[in-house]
Amino acid sequence: MSELATLTETLLAIVQNSRGWNVALLALSAFVASTLGANLSWRIANAPQSQFAQTARAWAAQRGMRALYQTARLAFYLGLPFMALYLGWMDLRSIGLGALDWAEGMRWAIVILLAAWLLLMLIWLPYLRATADIPASDAQFSFARRMVEMIYMQAHWMFYRGAAITLLTGVVTDAFYWGVIIGLGLTCLEAALDPRLGARLQHIGAADGAIWNLGQAFLNALAFLATHNLGLGLLIQFLLEVTVPHLRSTRAAPRKLGVAQTPPRPTHK
């Protein structure tokens, strides 16, 4: 009962004293929009007999619509956090860009980077070798596209995390800690509600990117807890992206059967 009373008092304090409701509602709106958009696009892509779905796919295939879609993604991932900062709904400290201790942060970043690098090398390389006969999916992006997606992910995580920190600041102790936990939880819930993720996890070649990104989200949360520095979190993810060979080959490797197989002789008719 005492724990329930404490939780109730904390929630009432957040409602009465928090100044972060504007950015919290904006983050929740972004969460709802992202979830609805993912489910709608999935239904359209997997409803081949629907006239509406056929029309929507035809529209989406046009070059102008693809450009509009990329513009909307840019506004969603980067425009929303910028708007929250511009309007004063979030401050730089809550997103890891203000009052930075670079010396202490660099020490933590080096430790986290080395530990993550060793762990990923021990786990990811054997996994790729064990599944070398499965080629990469068509969704594997180029290096430039992966860099853009990495920036989008960092901005998205930063926005959810910063909104939670802003909401809790001045209301609860350890606002940074609980803000990071809430932001990570919202990110995981958003991924769990995306039907595309469930479909990818059913196929090894397509699941790699989703598993890698989810691991990066947890690692980024840990790095922010230790450093409170957005730039160092981005640097850690970039260095892991370019130094850990986590991408699957686009062509399947031949299976090793132990006995060399000779190709069949050509027949002449």
DSSP states along 176-237: HHHHHHHHHHHHHHHHHT-HHHHHHHTSHHHHHHHHHHHHHHHHHHHHHHHH--HHHHHHHH
pLDDT of residue 55: 73
CB atoms within 10 A of CB 261: 8
Q: Are 27 and 155 in contact, with CB atoms under 8 Å apart?
A: no
Ramachandran angles phi, psi of 110, nearest 5° = -65, -45
pLDDT of residue 208: 86
Indicate the pTM of the whole model.
0.84
Asked if residue 247 has pLDDT above 60, the reply is yes
Whole-angstrom distance, CA of residue 28 vs CA of residue 35: 11
Asked if residue 15 has pLDDT above 60, the reply is no
pLDDT of residue 176: 94
pLDDT of residue 131: 83
Whole-angstrom distance, CA of residue 163 vs CA of residue 87: 13
**Percent of the chain clearing pLDDT 90 (strictly above):** 53
pLDDT of residue 250: 67
